[in-house]
Amino acid sequence: MSTVHASDLTADQRAIAEATRAFADEHLAPHAVAWDRDEHFPVDVLRKAADVGLAGVYVREDVGGSELSRLDGVVAFEALATGCPSIAAYLSIHNMVGWMVDRYGTEAQRARWLPALCTAEQLGSYCLTEPGAGSDAAALTTRAVRAGDQWVLDGVKQFISGAGTSQVYVVMARTGGPGPGGVSAFLVDRDDRGLSFGPNEHKMGWNAQPTRQVLLDGVRLPADRLLGAEGEGFRIAMAGLNGGRLGIAACSLGGAQSALERAVAHLADREAFGARLLHAQALQFRLADMATELEAARALVWRAATALDRGDRRAPQLCAMAKRHATDTGFEVANQALQLHGGYGYLAEYGIEKIVRDLRVHQILEGTNEIMRVIVARGLTGAA
């Protein structure tokens, strides 16, 4: 993996990349095609990932987290995604949930929820999108009404990764008037009465993780389940997404890096017209362009991660740029790798078509790439 030897990473970051790539090579890559085929969610492997610190990446150490930087994290998630983008992307979402609880939770909430999230004994899901509120997330209609010392939640969340298996759900619900200022965040447990789930969605990719509706029918929560202050939920959700976008961007880089490596190996093995395909200059140029585009996307992801670590005021725009560019580039590189495999690229057993399918959804989730352009444009124009 090219990032392992990058001179602008520290020795610790290179070690993170190498160790995570080794984990992906051993525990993810050999099983990725079968997990996709069988729609199997390998919770046992997620717990093995937790054993090497990948389930509490950004969480402080006092509750079992790894307390790594965002740059450390994107290096790790890229390496992990070389084995299976679907599993790496789910872990990115799980880590987004953990970070939100760590950053905005009370000490009591941190102590209750985070140790089990960091060991992956319990998994986490992020619940913002609704059937009628995707890109316009501030228009969500799930409601939370105060009833004495409790909150009562009603609504439906759509496209929730890990739903049904996850134990912890960070749910955005409307506690006030219309718009972002009326949204609050809540911690919902899978065992809370009134919580249920729709059927597992049949998807183009990401088949190694479940995607289901989360149904809230009069779910009663004690007052201490409010995460952050009332009315802060949308701000909390958007702050979580800044990091989540970097995670998904990194997973696109990792999936595409694996596809590129496979394409090089395939061309080295194949002959046509009496010569190895890898010696054909036209194909070498194609590989060179793929590697160049990936490296450029990687640089932008690292730049955005560093900005987020430093609290740069442009970090939200840079995260949006990085997510848009890296997910578009990752999909295109993987698609080119499929083409370079010829007919073999279209066969499931080679694993390339799975990478293409997995990376396609990265251009949609954590904010569509059209919404990423809106965020960048607002930063340029000063529009609200």
Q: How far is residue 61 from each of residues 73, 77, 95, 118, 235, measured CA to CA in Å?
A: 15, 19, 14, 10, 25
Is 366 part of the annotated catalytic residue set?
A: yes
CA 259/CA 251 separation, integer angstroms: 12
Determine the residue type at 27.
H
Phi, psi of 271, rounded to the nearest 5 degrees: -120, 150
Determine the residue type at 233.
G
Task: From the candidates 107, 121, 366, 370, give the one annotated as an active-site residue.
Answer: 366
Q: Which residues are catalytic?
A: 366
